[in-house]
Amino acid sequence: MVTTVVDARAVADGLAATAVADRLAACAQVGGPVDSTYRWRGEVETATEWSVQFKTAPDRVAALVDRIRADHPYDVPEILVSRGVECGDPAYAAWVRENTRV
C-alpha cells in the first residue's frame, strides 16, 4: 500500500485517476480533508490536505512511487510505502495483481 497527501482535492483526484488509468494501481481512494501541522523552513504551518491511498502489487510499487513523485506539486512530497500489509482475501490479491499488469 502506498499513500500520499496533497493540498488540493482536484490534484488528489488526478493522482488517483492517473494511477488506475496507467495500471500502476488497481484501486486508489481519496479521503479527507485532514488538517496538517508541520514545520517548514523553521516555522510551524498548517494546511488542509486530502489523502490518496493506492493499492498495488509489490512489483509495481517502485513505478507507482516514481509516478507520484513526478506528478506531485510539492517539492518534498509525503509518499509512504507500507510494507507488511497482507490481503485477507486471496481473490483480492489476485485482482490487484491482474489489474496492475501492462
36 binds a second copy (CB under 8 A): yes
Return d(Cα 12, Cα 33) in angstroms, integer: 11
8 binds a second copy (CB under 8 A): no
Residues in region 69-88 near a second copy by CB under 8 A: 69, 75-88
Q: How far is the CB of 71 from a second copy (least distance, A)?
A: 13
Q: How far is the CB of 50 from a second copy (least distance, A)?
A: 10
Question: Is the separation of the CB atoms in 87 and 71 below 8 Å?
Answer: no
Per-residue CA distances from 75 to 27, 72, 78, 87 (Å)? 25, 8, 10, 33
| Cell matching residue 26 | 488497481
| Cell matching residue 11 | 490534484
Tell me which residues touch a second copy (CB under 8 A). Answer: 1-2, 5, 13, 16-17, 20-21, 23, 26-39, 44, 49, 51, 53, 55, 65, 68-69, 75-89, 91-92, 95, 99
